[in-house]
Amino acid sequence: MVDIGSEAPDFTVPVAGGTAYNDVEPFTLSAALEEGPVVLAFYPAAFTSVCTEEMCAFRDSMSRFDGLDARVYGVSVDLPFAQNVWIEEEGLNFPMLSDWDHEVIEKYDVILEDMYGMVEVAQRSVFVVDSAGVVTYKWVPEGDNPDFDALVSEIGDAVAEAAGD
């Protein structure tokens, strides 16, 4: 199980940049960490109301993460082409990672096995990984969803700590 103080499992997946339907490139966590801390915000599915609310809270607070040289990535099992459309529709200002083969949600142990009793998706959760590759913050909800603006503010504080600011 990935927890605070654990080394973050490395992975390579497609990243949806959001500038076009086919704006897809490879993403490797270890390479991204060379540029500073990373926030991995797992969500069940693009185009759903609660996931949109959560990702828009990150969108609206992105200047805080940019100021810390931190990168935020949404992570779901959606295909990157769908993620690109969602990024454009919602004006999201950060990329999405496509865990289409469910490798990352397995590595991070954040699997929601029966969304609508039918499909396996990412469990809503957030990890902050410092530039050394160590998990410095972990959030997995128990019960109802939180106030996402407050959660993103808390994550911003965790990133500032991970960045040494």
Q: In the chain, where are the structural domains located? A: 12-163
Greatest alpha-carbon span in the chain: 44
Residue from 2, 142, 149, 152 nearest 72 by CA: 152
Predicted pLDDT of residue 117: 59
Phi-psi map region of 67: left, alpha, beta (phi>0 left; psi -120 to 50 alpha): alpha
Q: Please identify which of the residues 16, 29, 46, 51 carries the catalytic annotation.
A: 51
Predicted pLDDT of residue 141: 85
Predicted pLDDT of residue 9: 98
CATH number for the domain formed by residue range(s) 12-163: 3.40.30.10
Predicted pLDDT of residue 131: 93
Predicted pLDDT of residue 118: 60
The DSSP annotation for 58-100 comes to HHHTHHHHHHTT-EEEEEESS-HHHHHHHHHHHT--S-EEE-T
Do the Cβ atoms of 35 and 69 come closer than 8 Å?
A: yes
How far lies 74's CA from each of 29, 54, 165, in Å? 13, 10, 23
- Point out the residues of the chain with pLDDT beneath 70: 114-118, 165
Predicted pLDDT of residue 164: 75
* 51 catalytic per annotation: yes
Q: What is the pTM of this model?
A: 0.92
